[in-house]
Structure 1
Amino acid sequence: MDFGFLTIPIYMAVVAFGFAVFTDTHTVNIEYVDVPDAIAGETGYTSPVVVARIADEMQSIARQANTKAEVRKVELHEDKKPVAVLSEFVGLTPLVRVVQESASLIPFSFSGEIVIHGDDLQMRLRGYDSHHHQVQIQQEAHHDELPKLIRATSYEAMRIVNPYILAAYQFRRDRLTRDFTPTLEIIHREMENHETEYAKWMLNLWGMVLYQQADRQGAIEKFREAYAIDREFLSPLLNWGVAEARIGNHTHAIELFKAVTTNRAAAYNPSAAAAAYSEWGFSLALTGRFDEAYEKFQTSANTDASFADVYSSWAEVLSVQGHKDEAAKMTARALTLAPTEVVYTENLIGTVQNLPATASVH
């Protein structure tokens, strides 16, 4: 097949995107941020440096969100020629990348500038999604707070790229202070958009916030709403079961945990299935059915060998029954698999089940 007709588009793409930040087909393209010469000379924050810092901040938010929802990567390919960058976009050829660009397959593209307003700096960032809808971000900070300005702009850019990732990131931060106002602001703002693609994720996280605020019934309602949107979304079904168990409705909770494990989605989500078996076992133990509980713990471990929390639950039940040595072995297994605390943002597993008596402020 003759692809000669694409020669000019390739050349034009190289010229147009010479200073762009390129990633893969699921990511964000940050083209440029113009910086006044005076600011660049004083601070060292040239346009490429600012672009790199925005990319770093957005990546950091995505990593800290600790979510299994889709994360759009933001990467900076430094010291590479445009042609090389284009060819590395998908690991194939520049031609493929240009076809993707012309077909509007890049979700978001940003560009903008920093301007001086007296003693303040203002960053204006314009974003375009794959449907050419434009959004604008405008943030201000004192002239000696450029890193703060970059962080604030990156935060708002992530709200546009993936508001759920931002909400999950904020949830982890708010959990330390016990004030979930910022998380709820992100959720409510997105849910006002009736065409949002993030409704099931937002409702599930909303339920987790309500659970943390000791509103178990409110949490259950949000989990039910999230599950109603997607019957193969296992997190709200699991969380619904956890909330029922925590108010003593173990029979209903076990039905929900069983529904998680028999859902066809469990075949490709072993961590959720393992969590359901673990919680199922804990509910059995709380109703005095210890032998059945141990069987569920073992099934959980067999379902996902990397799921550490089952060993913590296993150890707790063993300890209550006076099996201190066996409990210690289970605790050691849990620590081996997860030496640091894991704060989940989709599932009510581990530490997010607990309601601290006092806030831990950092």
Structure 2
Amino acid sequence: MSRIRYTRRLPAAAVAAGLVLALAACGGGSSTSADGAAPSAATDQLNPNADLSKQSLTVSIWPDYSPKDLPAKVKEKLGVEVKIALHDTNEAAMAKLATNADSGVDVGFVSGQYAQALNEQGLLEPLHPELIPNLANLYPEASQLSFDKGNKFSVPYTWGTTGICYRTDLVKTPPTSWNDILNPPADLKGKVTMMTTERWLALPALKYLNYSINTTDDKQLGEAKDLLVKAKQAGMLYDDVTFGAKLDKGEAAMVEAWDGWCPTTNPKIKFMVPKEGSDLWSDTMVIMKSSKNKEAAHAFINYILDPSVHSWVAENILYKVPNKAAMDEVAKNNPALLKQNTPLQMNPAELLKGESIIDLGQDSTKYTRLATEISAQK
């Protein structure tokens, strides 16, 4: 088992302003579709009896987000040649998929709000459920994600939430609120971190103020900015990648963290969701409308949803999967892992208390501007 670190949510440091605007435009303007209704033409007619051995797939995914032998296993099971094309960030994936109508990618792995943006541009193939019978393995709650209710164009691969990860031996009073991160005790100065990733930088302040993490209201974002500026001026540190390792070593005491990155295998480390609530994030699998191998693409997703395949994610990445059959297999075959990693124990009902992050179209630039302004603060 390994705890992989990736930069899948980190904004590319050198993204040009034009690319940021292009990605925001993928949302089709400032109003977004809550039900993810596709604006494009009807679904292609697919052949359920297609000879998959005559098709091949290019799959774009984050590094280490799937088994190394996945292409060989798919070839053995389905007869389909699979090429893995890596992207380090959602932004890199969007630069590939949203700005190139014929990218050559058949199946893409992107976070939920990015799948929504691609769909609103008419770039995704609506799913053919009859070609993905393993959809039956998903929790019913997996069809309730606000960026794609009913799983019309995306299949969730992982899901989780954001909270506070902390050392019980270094934090005198256990945190209960996002304010404990924004305004930590003086004795923890230099040992508290938040994320710089745009939507997750804003999350603690917005939730503490009881605002939506999808707000586009300038006044609300201004209030959140004031809290974030005060936090930085008081000595807040920022870390999107190594916070778990720093907690493990005792170099950090309390951090904003994605649940799967909180190393609760260390008995001195705990994860909690503040009383004001948090998010529900999901990474998804989508099929590009430009794909010439759509039958194989559906068969690939169906293969991923096999419990023996999908359980690899929970066991190796330590992210929950929205696949009940897969999580049941983890509980059966690896009960010690679930016992050691409390975030893996969260059930769908608990996760659905979180607010799904959705694409905000052009208004996404408000969060880019917020992050830039906080970064510029001394």
TM-score normalised according to structure 1 size: 0.26
Structure number with the higher helix fraction is 1
Structure number with the higher strand fraction is 2
